[in-house]
Structure 1
């Protein structure tokens, strides 16, 4: 991986500003440990060698692309080429976007657990923003990131999201790619006591490599629910870790990913019950066609003393061609006794009997197969709220299938 290090992390180009010391320390850690390869357990199905073949610039350029129109009312924060030009002034009441103080950013550094791409982000980020939600929002808040055609930059957005005690929001990440660059995102989401966050990820990629690490902290009686639609591109890696820190914390993840030829998507999730009287649930589905590759690794960790924790993990996967591959692994790691926990995993194909039934009712084979695929894939999206957001996700899924 030395070629990737030379391309993405030359020390001579580190920015010299108030974050300079943070960048240098992150760069040193990255140089010490290097990038993951196929011998690294968490990356054994996903190679980053594609980055060695690309000449990535360090600037996003002047070309911007407008985000797709949304079929519902929302407040939008735009990230052009991965960057916010300046803090928006038209945010709804109870929402602030401001730069992160260097001292606070140091506290978000998780040492060796962060991983190479997170260290790369910390060494290379141009902006570090904090989004604060302090009220109950009456319409969704959208983080719209659109990469234009010809995009070949390496960008490293960094964002901390705080949802204050008693606040509620629907937060949508609308990510659209038309280029061949690298987007390496690090997010920290903090839900304070009694907060509610519905987190929607809608990603449709082209040729860019897209890596995102999201860490969620859930306090007492707070509720975090993620719903993801991954219409994969050339290479996508998503790490999502949810930490249930106090009594009454709840964490849920629902997602579906579709991959076709020359596409690769890798989702790694972890839900950590750090104390008892906490609840979690996860459902994830992958559909793989052509020569596409799908990877899912879901982990539930119930720590010692976290009695009266309850969790359920299920992954179902559909192979649509002989050359497609799906690697899936659910994990339960339990150190407490008074808990309920379950997990399950399946990999299968479309049932001939179901296809025959639809054909016998007059549907052409293409429509019949599309209907079966949609019925399988849409189940996790039923958890998306409000209804207008769910219909928008279903429409995107339907257009691909």
Structure 2
């Protein structure tokens, strides 16, 4: 067991009182005691010394309280063209008074649904920060989409942050979708402060048969954010789940994204783009578990790193013995724009079945000088040509965003970062 347990500032979070889910909280505390906080010798956090970062940056660890969010704040922060429903959070706490009233589905505080099996999908023994969240979160959000309900409007999670230095935000969301249900979720953060803070988030998604779910995330909280997110999904027969994560900023960010394919003809798609500069550190850990025959997964993560930034990609695909006829594809590609930028990439396959089609790979390099020269000979300036090439590299991920207004918004952010506009 790690020595970095609750005697540390971050470890002291485990003692914060929280009501409800007594059995689940007890299980989480036990998992925390067994694992301890990850040190430099913890394999899963080998390249991301987040415990050290938290101990250095957070002086007085306390839970952040909610604050007032006005309708004007919500409306002024909506990206252009969005016409869906908005669920608002203030320091991780759901704000019903400024959120949309969505007909046909149930939305309530997770604490009011104490029979919800939290921790059964995002298991606390898999990641210690998941255990900390499960043991100490308050409130949380419960979303239930009944059978055959196909939501025409997208649901936007708008997360406002306004806290003092050293505070911790612990959002928790449970989403369950019945058979033949369809929904799209977008997650966006609005940071109203310039101090260092810690976000420890857990989202559990339970899909039924023939459900079709999309989950898009934009990480652009600013250079002072330290974040760990655990998002885990179960999907059943004939279902699809697609995720796109766009990471643009953060002092240190760890994204744990897991997908469990539990039925035949199910399909999981996981895409990510990280554009890093300064000293930003982003670590994407993905896990796809094929448990049943005739399922498919596709995974593509791309990174563009400048200055002293660091990227980490660790993707795991498990194909269980019974999961014959599996198709699983994984790729991680990176471009380094600076000699000081670093990327650590580790795609992994663990296959126990013999009738499968699986592949994985990674590349790390620099811009194609011949392509850059070609554009310059066509009258395009060097910086603009560089931006266009980088955008062409990044655009393959952006194309997987099916919500047009959000895709346009993310495209503009990427173009501005890369200087790619014509």
Q: Provide TM-score, normalisation by structure 1.
A: 0.93
Q: State yes or no: 1:305 paired with 2:322.
A: yes
Taking structure 1 as reference, are residues 369 and 16 closer, same or farther at Cα in structure 2, changes over 3 Å only?
A: closer
Distance change (3 Å), C-alpha of 1:191 and 1:292: same
**Contact (CA 8 Å) 1:242, 1:271: kept in 2 or not?**
yes
Match 1:230 to one of 228, 247, 251 = 247
Deviations 1:83-112 (A, max 9, x none): 113477733222221233334245537656
Aligned length: 401
2:150–2:181 CA contact under 8 A, matched in 1:
yes
* 2:355 aligned partner: 338
Within-5 A mapping of 1:57-72: 57-60=62-65, 62=67, 66=73, 68-71=77-80, 72=82
From the superposition, tell whether residues 191 and 12 of structure 1 become closer, same or farther in structure 2 (CA, over 3 Å).
closer
Indicate the residue corresponding to 1:99 in structure 2: 109
Give distance in 2, aligned partners of 1:17 and 1:338.
Answer: 48
Tell me if the contact between 2:69 and 2:98 (Cα under 8 Å) persists in the aligned partners.
Answer: no
Gap regions ≥5 residues in structure 1: none
CA shift for structure 1 position 12: 8.9
Per-residue CA distance 1:224-256 (angstroms, 9 max, x = gap): 011121113101100011000011111011111
In structure 2, what is the equivalent of residue 78 of structure 1?
88
Moved more, 131-140 or 228-237: 131-140
Q: Counterpart of 2:10?
A: 8
- Looking at structure 2, the residues matched to 253 and 109 of structure 1 have their Cα atoms a distance apart, in angstroms, of 18
**What is the 5 A alignment of 1:2-401?**
2=4, 5-10=7-12, 14-20=16-22, 22-48=24-50, 49-53=52-56, 54-55=58-59, 56-60=61-65, 62=67, 66=73, 68-71=77-80, 72-86=82-96, 90-100=100-110, 101-105=113-117, 108=120, 113-134=125-146, 135-148=149-162, 150=164, 152-177=166-191, 178=193, 179-206=195-222, 207-401=224-418
In the superposition, the TM-score normalised over structure 2's length comes to 0.89
**1:310 and 1:339 in contact (8 A); partners too:** yes
RMSD over aligned Cα atoms? 2.3
Kept in 2, the 8 Å contact 1:4–1:51? The answer is no
Of 323-332 and 354-363, the range deviating more from structure 2? 354-363
The answer to whether the Cα contact below 8 Å between 1:176 and 1:203 also exists between their aligned partners in 2 is no
**TM-aligned CA deviation for residue 18 of structure 1:** 2.7
SS at match of 1:221: coil
Distance 2:188 2:13 in 1: 32
Deviations 1:314-351, CA, capped at 9 Å, x for gaps: 11111010000011111111111111111121101011
SS in 2 for 1:340: strand
User: Does structure 1 retain, via aligned residues, the 8 Å contact 2:235–2:241?
Assistant: yes
Q: Please state how far the C-alpha of 1:7 moved relative to its aligned partner.
A: 1.5
User: Residues 12, 276 of structure 1: CA spacing in aligned structure 2 closer, same or farther, 3 A cutoff?
Assistant: closer
CA distance in 2, matches of 1:307, 1:34: 37
User: Quick check: 385-394 or 22-31, which moved more?
Assistant: 22-31
Distance 1:117 1:242 in 2: 18
CA contact (8 A) 2:332 2:361 kept: yes
Structure 2 spans left out of the alignment, 5+ residues: none
Whole-angstrom distance in 2 between the partners of 1:215 and 1:184: 14
Between the aligned partners of 2:353 and 2:21, the Cα distance in structure 1 is 41
Give the drift of 1:14.
2.5
